[in-house]
Structure 1
Amino acid sequence: MSSRLGPVLVTGGAGFIGCALSQVLAGEAERWVVLDNLHPQVHPVAERPQALHQAAEFVRGDVTVAADLDAVMAEVRPETVIHLAAETGTAQSLDESTRHSLVNVVGTTQVLDALTRIGHVPDHIVLTSSRAVYGEGEWQRPDGTLFRPGLRTHAQLEAGRWDHEDAVAQPHSAGTTVPAPVNVYGATKLAQEHILSAWTGSRDTSLTALRLQNVYGPGQSLSNPYTGIVSLFSQLAMRGESIPLYEDGDITRDFVFIDDVVSAIATAVRNRPEGQRLVDVGSGEPSTIRQLAETIAAFHSAPAPHVTGQFRDGDVRAASSVLDQELVGLGWKPQWSLADGVAALQGWIRDELAAG
């Protein structure tokens, strides 16, 4: 039986997004090969995840190690490379800048050098980038003028000056919003985009970079303290605890359910562009952290969330995106509301904790 996709290599493909993506696409590929180092921050048990599709071939290896990449590239010669491998976490990236840069930046260049060493150019490279590349993006003053506020300083945050003047944050759009990352993580993700754009442009091959908003859902780590605010809030509410809210509780995010993210990536993989494509992946519906916490607390009849005034250096006040018209034109549209996504996640967490 012929496959719609040829050989596919997925770096970091045993993680949250990679496992969910394998359930949708692995059966369509001639081969679906996953390279992952099973980092303990993401994988408490260093073994092939059960959530990985049975057709996936798992190879334990690290994108920062040339020998690991050389072996898998030479054996697979992928037509499509889906580059998921990355260190995440805004606050952690400020404290562990070298680690984030090594994996995100050098890991990306190692992937490209491994392809060069075997003399192979894939048809399509797909990168999961991040909304973090935008930083604060653009804000609008009452008179309608737009400005880019940039980084909120430690002194500003310590003084509790959370917002930027008397202005309103605007949703991000890949076609118009100028990237201006305000933390190390965002800077490394933007570097990935630039590196891959230069390489694929010079090799006359296709590139898709998907700037993901805040992804959540079943399969996300329940123990990683640097990612998964929805999972962390859920566990607190399940225990009958009040959820703590940073700043004044009105930080804005675009929470997008894992199924919608996987659908967007799959749409991009199945529809290879002629050249380079840059798209946003979000729900299109911004929510405050307070709204998220109240939704979760109400589900469990937990105490009302409470504001702590704490903050994280390098965090942005607001992040959301418009629905990407290129993806919409290819037939993609988010299907999950925040309420439905939160409800689905609670059942999964309950089952995981009971089994654990």
Structure 2
Amino acid sequence: MPLHLVTGGAGFIGSHLTDRLLAAGHDVVVFDNLDGGKRENVPDGAILVVGSIADRKTVDELFAHHAFDSVFHLAAFAAEGISHAVKAHNYEVNVIGSTHLINAALRTKVRYFSYASSVAVYGTGRVPMHEDDHPQPADSYGNAKLTIERELAITAHLQNLPFTALRMHNVYGERQNMADPLRNAVAIFLNQIMRGEPITVYGDGSQLRSFTYVNDIIGCFLDAADNPRHWNRAINVGNQKPCTVLEMAHAVRDAMGVPDHPIHHLAAREEVHAAYTSSELARLLLGGWEDTPLAEGLAATATWAKTHGPVQPRSTLSLETEPDTQPEWYTTATSRTEKP
């Protein structure tokens, strides 16, 4: 039976992918530094190896001990909004760490490399965003994601390592890390409600996003891996119905049964105002799926969150710039966090 590596497999999306691979009869090794992931997210039957993709020695040892058929690379530093203020960390993990994996895959003759990319590669531009649009990242996170997409294309051409890059956006669902104060708006809002804190929305909340329920698109990773004729390209995957962040906040309140929970508007921050994609190509090449309505997906996520209970926000990040340059939104987001 093929053995697959899932980096970030103790995290949110990675653990759902590991579930699917195991259910399909595959063997899986999960590689995760457990910064945002949790041991309990790793399903029975998978092997957990704790380590960072940024540590070349650990990556090389991992590949020396296991003969991987495929690599599903989901591990990342994914706090997009703050990525410009932690440039070294962003590129160390998302570019250098990814490069360690690509090199190890080449040395050990891995058959296929799956890459979890992001809508952030597009930056600003027309919406919905299409695969033939010219990517112009608006932040360091998107720049890192696009860098690895391009590196994989070069590697496929010159060194024959096939890949698929799946450009996801605003994925939510069970097992999201509610302790992270800097990313995953759905999880942040759920935790704020359970902690008795107001939901915090940047600006007027008119930012347009499409929120994607994790179970809708997780199968795309398996479908892409099983379709060699569609390899060596980037494909958008996600919900195609946009809504505003404020509308989503109201929907979260409804899902939690507290429609009058207070919403506090913070100062606006610099971000792409409208970011969502067309996933018509994915539905054509990888098999169609029905987008779970936002209310339905949030209801399932809220049920999980209530069972999980509120958590203390925590962050290991420190800005790489001087303290007096910290934006107000970052100070507010981290004001109630604890350092692990």
Cα deviation 1:27-76 (Å, max 9, x = unaligned) = 4355311111112xx14xxxx62222212111112211122111111222
- CA apart distance, 1:238: 4.1
CA distance in 2, matches of 1:127, 1:97: 21
Compute the TM-score of the two structures, normalised by the length of structure 2: 0.85
SS in structure 2 of the partner of residue 107 of structure 1: helix
1:79 paired to 2:69: yes
Instruction: Tell me what 2:130 maps to.
Output: 173
The secondary structure found in structure 2 opposite 1:64 is coil
Partners of 2:304 and 2:143 lie apart in 1 by 33
Q: C-alpha displacement at 1:173, in angstroms?
A: 1.1
Equivalent residue, structure 2, for 1:312: 269
Structure 1 residues 260 and 69 mapped into 2: Cα distance closer, same or farther (>3 Å)?
same
Match of 2:222 among 246, 266, 290: 266
Q: Equivalences for 1:1-356 in 2 at 5 Å?
A: 3=1, 6-28=2-24, 30-39=26-35, 42-43=36-37, 49-116=39-106, 119-138=107-126, 170-174=127-131, 176-238=132-194, 242-273=198-229, 275-299=231-255, 300-303=257-260, 306=263, 308=265, 310-313=267-270, 315-353=271-309
CA offsets 1:257-314 (integer angstroms, 9 cap, x no match): 111131222222233346412110111111101110111223323426646251223x
Inter-CA distance 275–347: structure 2 relative to 1 (3 Å threshold):
closer
CA contact (8 A) 1:267 1:332 kept: no
The structure with the larger Rg is: 1
C-alpha deviation, 1:348, in angstroms:
0.5
In structure 2, relative to structure 1, the CA distance for the partners of 1:84 and 1:91 (3 Å cut) is: same
Unmatched segments (≥5 aa) in structure 1: 139-169
SS of residue paired to 2:61: helix
The structure-2 alpha-carbon separation of the partners of 1:195 and 1:81, relative to structure 1 and needing over 3 Å to count, comes to same
CA 301–65 in structure 1, closer or farther in 2 if over 3 Å, else same:
closer
Gaps of 5+ in 2: 313-340
Closer, same or farther: CA 240–303 of 1 in aligned 2, 3 Å: farther
Pairs aligned (count): 311
- Which amino acid is the alignment partner of residue 171 of structure 1? P
Q: 1:307 and 1:36, CA in 2 relative to 1: closer, same or farther beyond 3 A?
A: closer
Q: CA deviation at 1:99?
A: 0.3
Name the residue aligned to 1:148. none
Q: What is the distance in 1 between the residues matched to 2:263 and 2:296?
A: 23
Distance 1:355 1:284, change over 3 A: closer
Given that 2:178 and 2:311 are in contact with CA atoms closer than 8 Å, whether structure 1 keeps it comes out as: no
1:124 to 1:292, Cα distance in 2 relative to 1, 3 A: same
Distance 1:308 1:69, change over 3 A: same
TM-score, reference length from structure 1: 0.81
